[in-house]
Structure 1
């Protein structure tokens, strides 16, 4: 979500559409790879030796998946649903875990003192609490309130930046883009795709990494990363012709994994080659992966349970894992371990993130959403 990290279950009273269970599974695969990618980052010396190198593209996949699912779930509801009702549904689905993620980030903050961000112990409590409360709303904090020194719009829980753009995409959809004809939407997607390719190929590092700061350059990255995949996903939901793809979950899951773990393309002198890879992945491969996933059926109980678990856990693990990763990052920066020394701690962090996500889902997110639905009707 986020990027679309959450499942849109369509109420029977509004629609009898089938649910794309395989897309839930793909969302979970991408979320787990994001955690692994973040755990590899502190051990890398540059983009070129970063393991699980293209894990950052999971965010772009989430945006495309989000546009597809939003279009599928809501495009034909507008005669029975107001804009206010749409926003209310999105807030109930997304906001509880945003609040929890920021609270976890604030709680972990004072256990993360390290050479990576010196001076944490000198940050006053009131400033941390203020950043947390602002984070509850997902409004970006100015650089003057950046308690970590990385110029993040959500320094207590970095992945909040993508949820900010998810909300922007939802607002654009509800207030105007939903009314676009397929032709007008295709023009928007084409222009956004051109901007994305230009960004990827011409960026100094040869990738689309960024979007988490309020600086003009980073805002450009964030909006560019959101616009093409989200609205391409929306267009795909409107025009796609599905087929019967056998073993769709395994094929689409394998292709998604290969895209995200692929080593860096090119060298320091040819970084534009990696930009081409990012462009190909977002513009061509991600729509193909979603099409394959939407075209398949789960035929075994094991695969069905796995996809459901992955779908359930995807949003909670995405929005709660990063404070644990930052604690791990502080440990790495202090002790400077080898890969072999870091692996047990990284594994413990990964498992802890998975457990935290499951507990957050069952004992917080689901009960809070049920309560909000009762209160808000």
Structure 2
């Protein structure tokens, strides 16, 4: 899928919003508080984008009666995620000064992507933002198999039932776990309500629903694309509603309702951004394309970059407002750029070369088979 300016803009907004959220520990001044307070929603935007883009990769060939190559899918995901992740994990493990907090979970939790299920958040907060990567990896593992099963005999009622079960079941489960964790405070809420994969399926689900509409209901998708402005407006309204119910972030109302509301809003914005022929999909903002391309590297490194900058210049920057913002943003951009250009991009290029080689090998094998026949 070629890059679209509208989706790149959304990805850039997501990473900037997340970085504001994680920079809230630095003294950036009160004008930035509204952005940092709800920056956790940037992760839900990433989930909606991933659900749509990965969903389209998987569902497009299935909707056309083609065979889904699991080897190609998992190879692409591995080259996309693992090299940069492993490099940053090595820095966290072997360079204690790199850690934004002193406590770090065991390497095996990161390597098996079980961090979000087993973390001791009170004592081991370093690199804890890898929880969302664990959710994504679980999605990559399960979704192609689930999609293959559901599309053998596709039916609207099966999809609707699954969507309702995931959304309503997630809300009920969060309400139940919230009551169980009520007396244990914020750390227990993070471990039991916020991080586990089964609690955070809404964004991925709504993104996949968009991909399913595009793949199996092209007329409905075309109608949605013609109304991309309306979708964008509805998305903003839904995100605003999520912000309204999230004023007490650890409360029951926010725990139950904020995730499906923000996920719905983000999915609507993704749909608007996917409208290639409309202004919502063609909107270009200087720098957004680079931020989108480097968003994964920025996500992996930004908390450590903030920490290193604060360690070196924190006292001088304290209370300086815009100057502090520029310094911490610069540190995050430098850290992300180093990882992006030294590790992420080279492996993505290697992935494309391997993909072309595999395609050529398959074409040659097909030609040989035809000739023999």
TM normalised by structure 1 equals 0.69
User: Aligned equivalents of 1:61 and 1:211: distance in 2?
Assistant: 24
Q: Does 1:135 align with 2:110?
A: yes
Q: 1:281 aligns with which of 261, 264, 288?
A: 261
1:246/1:19 Cα in 2 relative to 1: closer, same or farther (>3 Å)? same
- What do the CA deviations read for 1:355-376 (whole angstroms, capped 9, x no partner)? 2222322232111232355457
Larger radius of gyration: 2
Which stretch has the larger CA shift, 68-77 or 278-287?
A: 278-287
Partners of 2:23 and 2:36 within 8 A in 1:
no
- What do the CA deviations read for 1:271-320 (whole angstroms, capped 9, x no partner)? 44544661463353122212221225476998176442232122221122
TM normalised by structure 2 equals 0.70
1:302/1:174 Cα in 2 relative to 1: closer, same or farther (>3 Å)? closer
In the other structure, the counterpart of 1:5 is none
3-state SS of paired residue (1:243): helix
Matches of residues 103-118 of structure 1 in structure 2 within 5 Å?
103-106=90-93, 109-110=96-97
1:265/1:301 Cα in 2 relative to 1: closer, same or farther (>3 Å)? closer
In the other structure, the counterpart of 1:82 is 69
Cα displacement (A) at 1:229? 2.0
User: Aligned equivalents of 2:188 and 2:24: distance in 1?
Assistant: 20
Cα displacement (A) at 1:101? 2.3
Cα displacement (A) at 1:33? 0.8
Cα displacement (A) at 1:139? 4.9
Q: Does 1:159 align with 2:140?
A: no
Partners of 1:252 and 1:293 within 8 A in 2:
no
1:57/1:168 Cα in 2 relative to 1: closer, same or farther (>3 Å)? same
Structure with the higher fraction of residues in helix conformation: 2
User: Aligned equivalents of 1:141 and 1:244: distance in 2?
Assistant: 39
User: Aligned equivalents of 2:199 and 2:174: distance in 1?
Assistant: 10
In the other structure, the counterpart of 2:363 is none
In the other structure, the counterpart of 1:355 is 334
Q: Does 1:314 align with 2:299?
A: no
Number of positions where the alignment pairs a residue of Structure 1 with one of Structure 2: 331
Higher relative contact order (CA closer than 8 Å, sequence separation 6+): 1
In the other structure, the counterpart of 2:42 is 58
Which stretch has the larger CA shift, 255-264 or 323-332?
A: 255-264
**Structure 2 gap segments, 5+ residues each:** 215-220, 359-373
Partners of 1:131 and 1:141 within 8 A in 2:
no
In the other structure, the counterpart of 1:3 is none
1:375/1:346 Cα in 2 relative to 1: closer, same or farther (>3 Å)? same
- What do the CA deviations read for 1:191-219 (whole angstroms, capped 9, x no partner)? 2211343466674799xx98998x6x35x
User: Aligned equivalents of 1:323 and 1:309: distance in 2?
Assistant: 20
Cα displacement (A) at 1:221? 4.7
